[in-house]
Homo-oligomer: A and B are copies of this chain.
Amino acid sequence: MDAKTLCLGALQVGDASGYEIKKLFEEGVFSHIHEASFGSIYPALTRLVDEGLASCTAMPQDKRPDKKVYSITDKGREALVGALRLAPAPDKVRSDFLFILVFGHLLPASQLDRLIDQRIAWYRDSLRRMSECDLSHKPASARFVNGLGRAVYRAAAEYLELQKEGLLANIEGAMVVPSRAAE
């Protein structure tokens, strides 16, 4: 999904500036779903206006650069729904955390311990923020996605909490216990 479609989706949620769209991808509806940086958002918004898929109104502000508020047009909404109808590309995941974990046996147990604790804390924090946001006035689909995210993060946090000690014991066990058993 290209930056243009991503911005179109953001504008469908509500009128916004480039800066505000970035926040939607960082902390808002689209966090944990997709990424978008200034370097991709601003050029995409310009192209969207060029193609008549969005319109732009400059809102003068005191002591700050004009805020450019973008709105999706009818043509833009059509383009969005068109893009949404295409078969989704497979999810792309890049997790340094999991890659590191695979080689846990090469690392000091203290690092693994910290790594996993930090991950659990991150999940718990994300879960809290996902529960706190009020979706009662959002469409059922937004609540559905929120629920899915929470179910997945809860499962991950619980697995890590339950299985962490077992891993740490096994990692050390692989080095220490066998030689003892041979005594």
- Verify if A33 is at the interface (C-beta below 8 Å from B): yes
Q: Which of A40-48, A61-69, A148-156 contacts B (4 or more CB under 8 A)?
A: A148-156
CA distance A39 to B27 in the complex (A): 33
Please list the 4 inter-chain residue pairs (A to B) with the smallest Cβ-Cβ separation, ordered nearest first.
A104-B141, A155-B155, A88-B96, A140-B170
Main secondary structure of the interface of A (DSSP, over half): helix
Residues of A whose CB lies within 8 Å of any CB of B are 1, 6, 9, 12, 29-30, 32-35, 80-81, 84-85, 88-89, 91-107, 111-112, 115, 139-142, 144-145, 147-149, 151-152, 154-156, 158-160, 163, 166-167, 170-171, 173-174
Contacts A91-B93, A101-B145, A139-B174 supplied; 5 other A-B pairs, CB < 8 Å:
A35-B94, A80-B106, A84-B100, A104-B141, A148-B163
CA distance A169 to B9 in the complex (A): 23
List the B side residues contacting A99 at CB < 8 Å: 1, 6, 9, 30, 33-34, 88
User: How far is the CB of A120 from the nearest CB of chain B, in Å?
Assistant: 12
Q: Which of B102, B156, B166 contacts A142 (CB 8 A)?
A: B102
| B151→A167 contact, CB < 8 A | no
CA distance A152 to B153 in the complex (A): 8
Given A96-B88, A163-B147: A102 in contact with B152 (beta carbons within 8 A): no
Given A9-B99, A30-B99: A151 in contact with B144 (beta carbons within 8 A): no
Q: Which of B139, B144, B159, B173 contacts A147 (CB 8 A)?
A: B159
